[in-house]
Amino acid sequence: MSAEVIQIPLTTLLNLAALILYTLAVKRITFFSFVLVGLLLIDVLHQGIAIYLRSFLSDERSLSFVFHAWYISFAFTDFLFFLCGLYLAKVVGSDIDKASQFILFTYLVLGVIQMLRFAERLFTDTNLMAWLYSEGIPLTNLVVTAFVISYVIRVTFVSLRHGVRTV
């Protein structure tokens, strides 16, 4: 039995740093704070799913399970993140700021991509979405992290310049 070394993706570490900086800058919990925590949780969840499913790859009898579980679990968690964000906004009676809207909508799109690629592989013999799936999803994750960092830096500078601890 071999133990897989868990490597924390750079994007997760950068999002964590952004959450800490954002919290220090605004000195309060906002809807965006919850979205950043959700972003961190979904990163950890996706890493756990990937590690768990890869553990089945050595058994040829499990390949069908891994195939189905991979797409469905990633799509489900992406959709769940989006829906939890909407639900949280409704429960707390908060408007969803534009930064949070962008992140939540991006995860909705990622879930759709997961399901479209799953359907393509399940029902057709094409690879039309292969590039979008293999390159587009990691690129989208990088874009979300770059967006989060730039937004938090902007909020921090505005906060420091005006001496105001709100966005």
The DSSP symbol for 95 reads: P
Residue 4 confidence (pLDDT) above 70: no
Give the start-to-end residue ranges of the domains of the chain.
Answer: 12-155
* Count of C-beta atoms within a 10 Å radius of residue 77: 19
Q: What is the pLDDT of residues 21-51, one digit of tens each?
A: 999 999 989 999 999 999 999 999 999 999 9
Q: Smallest Cα–Cα separation from 72: which of 39, 41, 117?
A: 117
CA separation (Å) from 143 to 16, 50, 64? 15, 21, 32
Q: Provide the pLDDT confidence category of residue 94 given band limits of 50, 70 and 90.
A: confident
CA separation (Å) from 7 to 43, 48, 146, 166? 12, 11, 20, 34
What's residue 1's pLDDT?
47
Cβ-count burial 136-162 (b if 16+ within 10 Å, e if not): bbeebbeebbeebbebbeebbeebeee
